[in-house]
Amino acid sequence: MKKLMNETILIRTLKTAFAAIASIVVANTLSLDFSAAAGIIAILNVFDTRKATTDGGLRRTLSAILALAIGGICFELFGYKTWVFGLYLLIFVPVSFILNIQLGLGPSSVIVTHLMSFGDVNKFIILNEMALVFIGTGFAMITNFYAPNKQKKLHKLVSSIDNQIKFLLNLFGESLVANIDVSLYRDRIEKLDKDLDKAIEMAVIESENMIENSNVMLYDLHLRERELNYLKDIYNDLKSIPSEYDEGHYLSKILIDTANNLTEKDAIVDVKARLIYFKEHVEMMELPKNHKDFVIRATVFQVFRTIDQFIDVNNYIVNKPI
C-alpha cells in the first residue's frame, strides 16, 4: 500500500510540475498579463485521476466565468476599490456553494483581483483572464491523459484473493471432520479483508481513470466483499459444530467442493445442486433428541443457507454475461 501511495505521489508531482511550467510558458508566449496565474490554475486543477481532473477543471472554469461577471459588474457600478472586492465576495461565495462550484473560489477570486489592478473591464481584459483559465485547465487535463494502467497488478491481486477464499473454504471443510481450531486462522480472514480493501482502492482509481473494463472489475470486487461476509458468518457458526457431529460431514464435502470449483465456470452450478440434495437429506433425518443437538442442527442449517448464498454470488462472478 505504501509503495502504491509513493508511486501515486511521484506521478502527480511530475504531472503538476509539467502542467504549471507549460502553462506559464504558453501564457508568456501569448504575452498575457499575469501569466504566472496560468501556472497556479494548472497546479490547482491536477488531481489523482482523469475523472477528478476533468470534473474539477469544468467546475473551476464555470466558477471563473461567474466570478468575472459578478466582479466586473460590482467594479463597474461602485468603482475599483477594496471594499467592492468584499462586496463581490459576499455575492460570489454563497452563489458558488449553491451551484456546487466552490472548488473554484480561490483561483477565481485571484482573477477578479486582476480587474482591480487593471482598473477597467473590457473585452481584451476578459479574454486575457479567460485565456489564463483555459491554458491552466487545459494543461492540467492534458497531463492526466497519462494514467498508469494497473490492470496486471490488479488481476494478480484478485487471483490471490480467490486463492485465499479457496484456502478458507477448504479449512472450514477440514475443521468439520478433523480436530482443527478454526479460530487459529482469524489472521487469514483479516489478511483477506485488507487485500480486498487494497484491490477495491486500486479498482476505484482505475475506474476514475476510465481504464477499460475497470468498472466490471470494481463490481466483481464488491461481490467478493459479499463473499467474505458470508465466510465470516460461516467461520462464526462452525465454532459451534463439533468435528464428531455426523451432519458436519455433509457440510465438509460441500465446503471443499465449493473451494475446488470456485473459479470454474458451470462447475459451481453442480455444487449448488449437490448442496440442495444434501440439505434435503438432512431435513429428512430424525429430529434431535436433546437441546444441544437441536442447537447444532440449527447451526448446520444456517451454514447451509450461508453457503447457498455464497454460491449464488460466486456463480454470478464466474458465469456473468460478457
* CA-CA-CA-CA dihedral for 266, 268, 273, 277, to nearest 10: 160
- Residues 29-40 have a mean pLDDT of 89
pLDDT at 322 over 50: no
Give 173-190 pLDDT, tens digit per residue: 887 777 766 666 788 888
Alpha-carbon torsion 212, 216, 218, 221, what sign?
negative
Residue 314's pLDDT band (cuts 50, 70, 90): confident
How high is the pLDDT of residue 256?
A: 85
Q: How far, in Å, CA of 138 to CA of 41, rounded?
A: 10
Give 68-122 pLDDT, tens digit per residue: 899 889 988 998 888 988 999 999 999 989 988 887 788 888 888 888 888 888 8
Q: How far, in Å, CA of 283 to CA of 250, rounded?
A: 12
Asked if residue 114 lies in contact with residue 129, where contact means CB atoms within 8 angstroms, the answer is yes
* CA angle centred on 66, ends 64 and 70, rounded to 5°: 115
